[in-house]
Amino acid sequence: MNVLGKTLGFSLGMILIFTLVANLLPQVEGEAPVEQKVDLGALTMESYIALGEALFSGKGTCTLCHNAMGRAPDLLVMNVGGAAEKHLEDERYKGKATNIEEYLHESMVDPGAFVVASFGKKGSNDTESPMPAVNKAPIELSEIEINAIIAFLQFKDGNDVTVELPTEAPPVEAAPAAGSAPAPAATAEDAIKKYGCQACHSMLGTESSVGPALDGIGSRQSAEQISLSITDPAAAIAEGFTPGVMPADFAEKMTVKELKMIIDLLLEQR
């Protein structure tokens, strides 16, 4: 055999060995999450919990970190409800939840509200969580899906499942039930929280890049301009931002007092 034949044979032999090793290993395919239509009318608590379990290891990608490898608390072996109660009483807790269900919800959409000791981001002294907010990209769980996971976590430890089955209109998007209009906010901060301004705007110490930052807005805009931006967001769009993202129905939802409180607070941001 000439040199070309020998060297080619040797090289191809090696390539085939590598290919063989790759094919001998367990073959796992990483499927993209598939949007599932849930028949809310036929949903039972059992199937809702099962959905939560599937989401926990599937679309939610929770098991990537919450496992026995020590990256994050191993939720499948610990009593999640019991741990949540302790965390709520912990002096480091800085969230707004008042019960286990709210705590679990908050820990998924705002994981930094409480970071379990030794599981924080490196160098943050457990003040920052490495966990992404599950309602945002890349996970993007809906409110129904988040609640399904909460139901699963409550159920697996034998705790009371306090999550209610979703109705046709998911809670977060639901219009207030007739005759039960939400109570007006007492303070400007409450009003900002009530209407979710901080979800899109950087303000009062929080950060978000979906909408224009409102830090220092008082030095740039008048009360009239701020009022117009809230009640008719399409009237003027800040450069580089998409029209139609900000809800256009605040004029219907807000009370006059709430609007005035928010404007006054924003005018103070200089």
84/80 Cα distance (integer angstroms):
6
25 scored as a contact of another protein (CB under 8 A): yes
Q: Is 58 in the site for another protein (CB under 8 A)?
A: no
- Measured CA to CA, the distance from residue 12 to residue 8 in angstroms comes to 6
DSSP state for residue 120 in the 8-state scheme = S
118 lies in the binding site for another protein (CB under 8 A)? yes
Query: Smallest gap, in angstroms, from Cβ of residue 258 to another protein?
Result: 27
Q: Which of 78, 181, 186, 245 binds another protein (CB under 8 A)?
A: 245
CA dihedral angle for residue 122, residue 123, residue 124, residue 128, rounded to 10 degrees: -20
Handedness of CA 56, 57, 62, 65 (dihedral sign): positive
Please identify which residue in the block is written with the tokens 């945002």.
136
Q: Does 37 bind another protein (CB under 8 A)?
A: no
The CA-atom distances, in angstroms, between 62 and each of 100, 121, 124, 252 are 19, 17, 22, 39
CB of 245 to another protein, least distance (A): 7
Closest approach of another protein to the CB of residue 98, in Å: 29
Q: What's the token pair of residue 29?
A: 């395919």
Is the CB of residue 269 less than 8 Å from the CB of residue 214? yes
Interacting residue with another protein among 138, 176, 179, 205 (CB under 8 A): 138
240 touches another protein by CB under 8 A: yes
Which residue of 37, 42, 122, 168 would you call a contact of another protein, by CB under 8 A? Answer: 122
Asked whether position 19 contacts another protein by CB under 8 A, the answer is yes
The smaller minimum CB distance to another protein, of residues 100 and 134, is found at 134
Size of the residue set binding another protein (CB under 8 A): 51
22 part of the interface to another protein, by CB under 8 A: yes
Among 116, 204, 237, 267, binds another protein (CB under 8 A): 237
In the DSSP assignment, the letter for residue 79 is -
Q: Does 232 bind another protein (CB under 8 A)?
A: no
Whichever of 14 and 169 has its CB closer to another protein, that residue is 14
Q: What is the DSSP letter of 126?
A: T
**Using the rule CB under 8 A, is 7 a contact of another protein?**
yes
Other CB atoms within a 10 A radius of the CB of residue 144 amount to 20
The answer to whether 29 contacts another protein (rule: CB under 8 A) is: yes
Instruction: Read off φ and ψ for residue 147, nearest 5 degrees.
Output: -65, -30
Residue 127 sits in the site that holds another protein (CB under 8 A): no
Distance CA 59, CA 121 (A): 23
Q: Are 191 and 204 in contact (CB under 8 A)?
A: no
Binding site for another protein (CB under 8 A): 3-4, 6-8, 10-12, 14-16, 18-19, 21-23, 25-33, 61, 64-65, 69-71, 118, 121-122, 130-132, 136-139, 209-210, 236-237, 239-243, 245
